[in-house]
Structure 1
Amino acid sequence: MLPLIYPLLSGAAGVTAIIGTPPRAFRHGSAPQNVVAPYVTWSAPGGFAENTLEGADADVWRVQVDCWSDIDTQVETLALAVRTALEPAGNLIAYIADEQDPVTKRYRISFSFDFINAR
């Protein structure tokens, strides 16, 4: 039902070269306390059912993916690897953030993707 983000990330050599194997990639938009950077978080904050008269039904999920690192240049490399891993399965629709968290001082680059899953 939900898009299979973790398998896409864990199957991408460019991603795992940066965030490890198994990849430090976490659902629900948050990482565990004291996680080592770099890592990826994602959540599915919205979506809708696509229903047609022909019966070709699907679910469209909007997924936010956040790349995190303690190093500015590394977060850029990670974001490119994540985008490369996810674009064959989903449509990149927005760049959300390119910032440094004021509390943790970690750098973040964030995207929104739409994934269409047939039912």
Structure 2
Amino acid sequence: MIAPIFPVCAASPAVQALLGGSMLRLYPFGMQDTVVVYPYAVWQNVTGAPENYLTQRPDVDSFTLQVDAYADTVDEVIAVAAALRDAIEPHAHITRWGGQEQDPETKRYRYSFDVDWIVKR
């Protein structure tokens, strides 16, 4: 009932190098540490549904996830987003490149994208 985004990204050496190896800074939305260390990324389910059939139970679940990377610089946030993209694409489809912005309060940068993931049960 949850797309395997964390184990997929944690297996990527590029993601590990950018987001912290054994204490990977890839969090479900709202679960990031209270002491923020940049860069980091968060993800959340936007939608999800089982693949329903008339004659049997569902055998897959479909999810749309939103992934947001945060970093101190534009180059760093783009590198994090690219590493996440490269880790995710062999397993799921990126369906939207979202906003890139600088937070007016923290002055940190954000890069957002969406992923459609089909997970076999």
Q: After TM superposition, is the score higher than 0.5?
A: yes
Q: Work out the CA distance in 2 between the residues paired with 1:118 and 1:19.
A: 27
Aligned length: 119
Give, in angstroms, the shift of residue 92 of structure 1.
0.4
Q: Work out the CA distance in 2 between the residues paired with 1:47 and 1:81.
A: 24
Residue equivalent to 2:49: 48
8 Å CA contact 1:48–1:59 kept in 2: the answer is: yes
* SS of residue matched to 1:95: strand
Aligned-residue sequence identity (percent) comes to: 37
Q: Work out the CA distance in 2 between the residues paired with 1:110 and 1:29.
A: 15
Instruction: Provide the TM-score with structure 2 as the length reference.
Output: 0.89
Instruction: Provide the TM-score with structure 1 as the length reference.
Output: 0.90
Give, in angstroms, the shift of residue 53 of structure 1.
4.6
Seen in structure 2, the aligned counterparts of structure 1 residues 5 and 29 have a Cα distance that, compared at 3 Å, is farther
Residue equivalent to 1:109: 111
Structure 2 residue 23 is the aligned partner of structure 1 residue 6: no
Structure 2 residue 118 is the aligned partner of structure 1 residue 81: no
CA-atom RMSD in angstroms: 1.6
Q: Work out the CA distance in 1 between the residues paired with 2:83 and 2:111.
A: 12
* SS of residue matched to 2:21: coil
Give, in angstroms, the shift of residue 9 of structure 1.
1.3
Structure 1 stretches lacking a partner, 5+ long: none
